[in-house]
Amino acid sequence: MGKPTGFLEKPRGDRGYAPVAERLKHWNEFVQPLPEDEVRDQGSRCMDCGIPFCHNGCPVNNQIPDWNDLVYHGEWRQAYDNLHSTNNFPEFTGRICPAPCEESCTLNLNTFVRPVTIKTIECAIVDKGRENGWLVPQPSEKKTGKRIAVVGSGPAGMACAQQLARVGHDVTLFEKADRIGGLLRYGIPDFKMEKHLIDDRVAQMEAEGVTMKTGVHVGKDVSAKQLAADFDAVVLSGGAENPRNLDVPGRELNGVHFAMEFLPQQNKRNAGDSLPATQDILANGKHVVVVGGGDTGSDCIGTSTRQGAVHVKQLEIVPPSPVDEDKPVIWPDWPRKERISSSQQEVDATFGEKVQYTAETAWLEGDADGNVKKLHGHMVEWGNKGPQKVDGTEFTMDAELVLLAMGFVGPSQDDVLADLGINTVISRDSLGRIPEAPADYKTNLPNVFTAGDMRRGQSLVVWAIREGRQCAHAVDEFLMGESVLPR
């Protein structure tokens, strides 16, 4: 513990945002990093608890008190190495993780002291390393001769592939899209995480011996059964891409799209790709309604605002969360409480609109050409029977583009599973998850493993990284009889 009184002397300080009017003019990140001396001050606030409850919240088991102390003492290189001992891609989590570690911080028990800014310190460490050229390949000195196929290049697949390559296996990473990254690449807007960060990690992994094969849809372009025969092990790490649909009259109208039909297009434009005009889904000049109040819905409203929408509205069927949690009851677990995203702040500042809660879509109205033009809905009350319509609360709003962001109902590798002959990988629940998959990440086929959304369902990037790392340990142990990789 570098400074026992640090949390008493220094208030919590965190990164800020560029002004709304400024950041809406571009697609780049707009979070403003803290100066180095302020990051060190924030590191001094860590109490180095006897039982560090921040570990309770961190899925990848980051050694948070250790690198907080190293930052406080200016030992940035040691902090960088420590951070990477548990997390392959801290520049991803340092930008888009909701920071459950901070909710579990012991300081968070006290409303007036507030937790350590763990996420900001994490991002500062890895960005310092990138600035100083510490992001270098770590190839294995020995090759095992074992060949492994990893299907799906999201954070779980990337972490798994990198770990396995670093112990000498020959790893091929298959991705159906044209670039590596999965939902990191095409689900998360550039203004939340710029994609050169993925490109730098791809270059590092290639130098470590990972072979990247993009534009290859396993189960269609390549037989998954053949992969299992040709490789010593196969890891299925596809993302949860199957969206929840809106089953209302008018769903078939032009201008009604899933969020993941809309969001990837803008990322492709930002990357310099051209899209056929017939495929363009754009918000400019339109009244946009986003159905769904979670992170994906937030990404949709932020993208629509930047594209030049005339008006943006976000609907959410559930009630609003409480402003503050009951900390003596909830801590150190993740609390349900009000969280306003940067995109929601932008919509409020631009259009004077906040999320409309307890709002249910009843039907969509179209024009003579089959284009959506109005959304009709009503308010609901929640009880034992779920949401119930409140009479007299009907509403109608302009809606020339309706984006459905109501969550996802499972992974999209049914064709792969069928090709392999896996009987739903042990068993899958109604959301397509595999909750009974064993701790060794194996399926009912001897050399086929599964990780990430394929195993646990839709989840956080930090959970995907953990799954990929642990799956790599399981694969390495299966192939070699033992493993030096961390669990």
List, as one string, the DSSP characters of 21-36. HHHTT-SS--EEPPPH
Torsion over CA of 304, 20, 23 and 317, rounded to 10 degrees? -30
| 476: helix, strand or coil | helix
| Residue that finishes a domain, picked among 378, 404, 430 | 404
pLDDT band of 1, cuts 50, 70, 90: low
C-alpha span between 137 and 141 (Å, rounded): 12
Band of pLDDT at residue 423, cut at 50, 70 and 90: low
In a domain, 251, yes or no: no
pLDDT score recorded for residue 419: 78
Encode pLDDT of 147-170 as tens digits: 999 999 999 999 999 999 999 999
pLDDT tier, 240 (very low <50, low <70, confident <90, very high otherwise): confident
- Judge if 360 and 282 occupy the same domain: yes
Secondary element (H or E) of residue 39? helix 36-43
Q: Per-residue pLDDT tens for 10-44?
A: 999 999 999 999 999 999 999 999 999 999 999 99
The pLDDT value given to residue 427? 54
Of 104-108, 233-237, 456-460, which gets the smallest average pLDDT? 456-460
Give the pLDDT band of residue 418 (cuts 50, 70, 90): confident
**What pLDDT, on the 0 to 100 scale, is given for residue 425?**
45
Say whether both 45 and 94 belong to one domain: yes
The DSSP code sequence of 50-71 is SS-THHHH-TT---HHHHHHHH
pLDDT of 171: 98
Residues 446 and 352 both lie in one domain: no
Specify the higher pLDDT residue, 233 or 111: 233
Q: pLDDT higher for 457 or 2?
A: 457
Question: What's the rounded mean pLDDT across residues 432-452?
Answer: 77
The enclosing domain of 20 has a CATH number of 1.10.1060.10
Q: Is residue 487 part of a domain?
A: no
Question: 272: Cβ–Cβ under 8 A, 6 or more apart, which residues?
Answer: none
Q: What are phi and psi of 262, to 5 degrees?
A: -90, -50
Inside any domain, residue 138 = no
The residue out of 66, 96, 131 marking a domain boundary is: 131
Both 293 and 382 in one domain: the answer is: yes
Percentage of the chain surpassing pLDDT 70? 95
**Residue 400 belongs to some domain of the structure:** yes
This model's pTM is above 0.85: yes
pLDDT at 389 over 70: yes
Report the pLDDT averaged over residues 415-442: 64
Whether residue 332 has a cis bond before it, omega within 30° of 0: yes
Q: Exposed (0-12), middle (13-18) or buried (19+): which is 370, by Cβ within 10 Å?
A: exposed
Show the domain range for 274: 256-404
Task: Please identify, among 404, 422, 437, the residue that sits at the C-terminal boundary of a domain.
Answer: 404
247 occurs within a structural domain: no
Q: Are residues 438 and 319 in the same domain?
A: no
Residue 359, domain CATH: 3.50.50.60
Provide, rounded to the nearest whole percent, the portion of the chain with pLDDT above 90.
Answer: 83
Tens digit of each residue's pLDDT (9 = 90 or more) over 170-180: 999 999 999 99
Q: Which pLDDT band holds residue 424 (cuts at 50, 70, 90)?
A: very low
